[in-house]
Amino acid sequence: MLSTAAVVLVTAACGGGSSTPAEAPATPAPAADTSAAPATPAAAPAGVIIPLEPKEGSSSGHIDLFRWEAVPGADAYVVKVTAVTDGRVLWESPALTTTEAHLPNTIALEPEAYFWQVKASAAGKPVAETGAIRFLVTP
């Protein structure tokens, strides 16, 4: 059996034994791991479709192809072409699953200014759209 003196001696030798606890030396917090994942480029904000063709302000003697970037999660797109002068709708596509649309052969755009726009939906609910994109068909 150990005597009381031996217990005090062992306790003092191990850094204990004082009536107030000794403060442990501060250890620095580990640095944050910044190598976990590479940075990803910023995506278009939700609710926006990026039009590709025809671009805003473009003009040509013949325009019949409309293209845009896909929207993550969208399962259908509708394209609408309207006349700038009086707002009449010249064509509205059925629901499309692709990111491009061709005007039907039965529709020829006369020389004037037009707007086109695309609306995207997922499970029948709107998720994104372009603004009105103006283009000009020239003679």
Q: Is the pLDDT of residue 36 over 50?
A: no
If pLDDT is split at 50, 70 and 90, which confidence band does 107 have? Answer: very high
Measure the N-to-C terminal CA separation of the chain; round to a whole number of Å.
112
In this prediction, residues 94-113 reach a mean pLDDT of: 96
pLDDT at 131: 94
In this prediction, residues 42-50 reach a mean pLDDT of: 68
Residue type, 1: M
Could you read off the pLDDT of 49-61 as tens digits, one per residue? 999 999 999 999 9
> What is the rounded average pLDDT for all residues in the chain?
79
Cβ(119)–Cβ(77) below 8 Å: yes
Tokens of 81: 């072409």
Q: Which domains are seen in the chain, by residue range?
A: 51-137 (2.60.40.10)
Measured CA to CA in angstroms, residue 48 lies from 31, 35, 106, 138 at distances of 38, 31, 30, 29
Tokens of 48: 């926006």
Could you read off the pLDDT of 15-32 as tens digits, one per residue? 444 444 454 445 555 454
